[in-house]
Structure 1
Amino acid sequence: MKNILLLTFVLISSVVYSQELRLLRGAITENLAVNDTVNETYSLYLPSNFEINRPWPVAFVMDLKGKGKAAVSMLINAAEQEGYVLASSNNLSDSLAISENVLIANRMFNAVFNTIPTAKNRTYTAGFESGAMFASILPTFVREIKGVISIGASVGNVEILNTKQPFQFIGLVNRSDYNFTPMYNTKQVLNKLKFPNELLVFDGARNLPEKETIAKAFRMLTLTSMAKGHLERNDSLINSSYNEFLVDVNNNVSNQKPLLATYQMLDMEKIFYPLMRLDSLKASQKVLKRSTSYRQANRSQNSYFLKESFTKEDYSYYLEEDIISYNYANLGWWNFQMEELNKLDKSSNLFERQMSSRLRGYINALVSDNIDYIAADEKVDFEALNLLYMIKTITAPAEHDGYLKVISMSSKMEDYGTALFYLEELLKTGYTNKEELYSLEYTSLFKIMPEFNEVVEKYLKGARYDVIEQ
């Protein structure tokens, strides 16, 4: 059952006033007002054992779509387990300048600090993908932020990092995620800068980490706070954490994943070195790195990293060339590339399958970025945009948006033969939303054509307009 916490507090600004808040324990409280002077709100999660008489660590979750509740909900299980408060703004947006988003985030920080007791030197940010990149930029502007949990994204801008104002960066990423290689490379850069960082790498069908992996990131923040003297030392928690982390290492060794085990050992060394002796861990790490399985895996992964790098360069080069020259003839080349990735998906080699997944993620992100860039231009190049959506139907054939856009834009350019072809390709995927189909922009003439309705009748039955046979 959700517990309701009743808080009465006094804020001092231009006037003194009191406000009564009803906050939920163990659940998300939505649409809390930031203050009386701006129309901004945020969502807040308090652990079920929250008490008003002691300070709490806070993780501010950044979401550039302004979906505070959804962002918080992704982390509540781990936050509940590790005893962290979560908060997320409903007003951040990727359409705003970074400076504007920083101000919005800062107002939310102050609202939370004025609402609940927060632990000094235990304020953090977190996020997913673009939100995570923004989360990693904030410590440069807000000194109070001592760490970042970044899920599926690298540091937003390495160049602005201040080694005199360091924060702990904890990345979480699936090896099949196209962000794995940039996050892996950024880790090497952060190490050279002697910037505190850990990278929690995992495998699996989902790019999002499981609760246990996110909880481990929170635990790392807690252990670092103990090491720095910001939190009272708890030997029981330190020892149990070490043993839990070591179990994960041993499981990866047993499952023939020596690279994952090595990554975990390196992170353990950073986290536990200030807290306990690590002679046995260092000895095990040396043994593993000298093993044949590790050397073969490391050599194989580096080989696929190199191949992946060359392939990404090809994708980037040919996509740019195709856009500039409206090269529809190269659609066959893109189709061939995706067929090659489909073959790699069935490979018995784990590194090959993971590279294939990363390359597919990369090309789809690249196409999407170019779509956003061209669509945002004052004078939109519809032909280039149409070509990009055609490529998207090849690189992401199960996503309906690409087909719909091609149908719409081809109709706008009165290329009804192309529109008809992509209509049938769309319906072959299992698409059934007739209401959306008949309301597509620029298709007023196309959707009353006999050919359009014949195709709709063939796949969906019940075309809106009758097909009259002559």
Structure 2
Amino acid sequence: MKKILLFALILNSTFFYAQELRLLRGAITENLIVNDTVNETYSLYLPTSFSVDRAWPLAFVMDLEGKGKAAVAMLMNAAEQEGYVLASSNNISDSLSISQNVLIANRMFNSVFNTVPTAKNRTYTIGFGGGAMFASILPTFINEIKGVISIGASIGNLEILNAKQPFQFVGIVNRSDFNFRSMYDTKQVLNKLKFPNQLLVFDADRNLPEIETVSKAFRMLTLTSMAKGYLVQNDSLIRSSYNDFFVDANANVTNQKPLLATYQMSDMEKIFYPLMKLDSLKESQKTLKRSTSFRQANRSQNSYFLKESFTKEDYSYYLEEDIISYNYANLGWWNYQMQELNKLDRSAILFEKQMSSRLRGYINALISDNIDYLAADREPDLEALNLLYMIKTITDPNEYTSYLKVISTSSKMEDYGTALFYLEELLKNGYTDTQTLYSIEHTALFRIMPEFNEVVEKYLKGARYDVIEQ
């Protein structure tokens, strides 16, 4: 028998029920207990318009770092705008197995279902990066989930998709994100499998989408619910949504981004086909695809896709070879590759700049994956790990952790010359945390050496030990 919750309005902003649980409207309620038998909590966001007299669409935010409040906070403005409830667990973690995380998620789902009046067939998952990949596999295990919003990641495992249990997949990705290619390819696979899907592609300086883009993803879920009869059709909302989407597509045509416009129009056709006539949209699509600008852009993109694929193969091959042979001599080759990407960053050709960004993201992700793999061994290969961290200082020079790891590992192996070199490279790149410098693991002997303190004094004017000149 389901537990009945008694809600009442307190000071126009707070709800409570018999067990003194208080849920805020228009704000995040933290550390809600899943149930009395497990030590698990979650964060919950209710829109300011929330009331208990109607059922609400619900999106579960998946975060593999267990930071429920932070995950919800990133999406609450879009959820507020579109009228969605958000919930996120504080216990899901990338250190746990998929099955353990699925069970944690399922317990949270049941807790929220028993707390908030939820619209039938309007339950979704959403996430960023790794959290998005996990969000995309949950519908296979939990029937109640009818759609996924995936920000910056493709589906976690295409092989487990069940054609008899389809769900709507809405991807969001920047064309400069290294995951763009995989999400673009996944879209083609989903089309063949007849899985309902959309891909919101944007260009920006950062990979995270603006609120308006996330709001559009929520709106697509709402419109699909109307098309399937899960929600009463709102003709005014349908028409205004169509007009807004069409204006955005035309803006990309005007801004000489015909490919983005075609992506948008393709998604519009899927979303609005069951809801209204699309004669003008189809005609616009035909006109755009016949245009010289579209054909040129499409050829250019395909050409850069091919070049990108070859370069990624080179990166993967040489990284593996370097690890196996401890090939420190190849550090110069990696430095050259990054210099070539730096040149592309300054290119006037948009496709070149975006390819450069994707390649940089790819190699850094590849190095991180190899580091995680080697570090997980019972007896890690310190020399191989050290080499990977050295390469990482080249491919991502502003990530200070890599320098600190090289300094630590080199000191452990009593290679103080290498440790000193990377100490100075770290400080040249703007590192200023003296306290951390003097607490790096395995550097007890290294940090009392005159050479160490000379470098610290040179860049930070704060060496802990005096340098004695003989």
Question: Would the TM-score normalized by the shorter structure come out above 0.5?
Answer: yes
CA contact (8 A) 1:176 1:354 kept: yes
Is 1:68 the counterpart of 2:89? The answer is no
CA offsets 1:252-287 (integer angstroms, 9 cap, x no match) = 000000000000000000000000000110010000
What is the identity, as a one-letter code, of the residue corresponding to 1:462? G
- The aligned counterpart of 1:262 is 262
CA offsets 1:160-191 (integer angstroms, 9 cap, x no match) = 00010000000000000000000000100000
CA offsets 1:270-317 (integer angstroms, 9 cap, x no match) = 000000000110010000000000000000000000000010010001
- The aligned counterpart of 1:4 is 13
| Alpha-carbon distance in structure 2 between the residues aligned to 1:423 and 1:96 | 35
Report SS of the residue matched to 2:336. Answer: helix
Report SS of the residue matched to 2:231. Answer: coil
- The aligned counterpart of 1:151 is 151
| Alpha-carbon distance in structure 2 between the residues aligned to 1:462 and 1:222 | 58
| Alpha-carbon distance in structure 2 between the residues aligned to 1:75 and 1:6 | 21
| Alpha-carbon distance in structure 2 between the residues aligned to 1:287 and 1:200 | 21
Is 1:388 the counterpart of 2:397? The answer is no
Is 1:239 the counterpart of 2:255? The answer is no
Query: What TM-score, normalized by structure 1, do the two folds share?
Result: 0.97
What aligned pairs does 1:198-237 form with structure 2 within 5 A after superposition?
A: 198-237=198-237
What aligned pairs does 1:360-399 form with structure 2 within 5 A after superposition?
A: 360-399=360-399
Q: Note the C-alpha offset of 1:4.
A: 3.3
CA contact (8 A) 2:89 2:105 kept: yes
- The aligned counterpart of 1:284 is 284
CA RMSD of aligned residues (A): 0.9
- The aligned counterpart of 2:6 is none
CA offsets 1:28-55 (integer angstroms, 9 cap, x no match) = 0000000000000000000000001110
- The aligned counterpart of 1:139 is 139
Report SS of the residue matched to 2:39. Answer: coil
- The aligned counterpart of 1:109 is 109
Runs of 4+ in 1 over 3 A off after TM superposition: 1-4
- The aligned counterpart of 2:5 is none
Is 1:80 the counterpart of 2:80? The answer is yes
- The aligned counterpart of 1:455 is 455
Q: Note the C-alpha offset of 1:68.
A: 0.3
- Give the share of equivalent positions with the same residue, in percent: 82
Is 1:317 the counterpart of 2:317? The answer is yes
CA contact (8 A) 1:4 1:22 kept: no
Q: Note the C-alpha offset of 1:243.
A: 0.2
Aligned residues: 461
What is the identity, as a one-letter code, of the residue corresponding to 1:7? F
Q: Note the C-alpha offset of 1:21.
A: 1.1
Q: Note the C-alpha offset of 1:5.
A: 2.5
Q: Note the C-alpha offset of 1:2.
A: 9.0
| Alpha-carbon distance in structure 2 between the residues aligned to 1:20 and 1:51 | 18
Is 1:20 the counterpart of 2:29? The answer is no
CA contact (8 A) 1:6 1:20 kept: no
- The aligned counterpart of 2:424 is 424
Query: What TM-score, normalized by structure 2, do the two folds share?
Result: 0.97
- The aligned counterpart of 1:403 is 403
| Alpha-carbon distance in structure 1 between the residues aligned to 2:183 and 2:414 | 45
What is the identity, as a one-letter code, of the residue corresponding to 2:15? L
| Alpha-carbon distance in structure 2 between the residues aligned to 1:414 and 1:376 | 23
CA offsets 1:341-383 (integer angstroms, 9 cap, x no match) = 0000011100000000000000000001111111111111000
| Alpha-carbon distance in structure 1 between the residues aligned to 2:269 and 2:241 | 13
CA contact (8 A) 2:434 2:462 kept: no
- The aligned counterpart of 1:12 is none
CA contact (8 A) 2:79 2:215 kept: yes
In the alignment, structure 2 segments of 5+ residues that lack a partner are 1-9
| Alpha-carbon distance in structure 1 between the residues aligned to 2:219 and 2:253 | 22
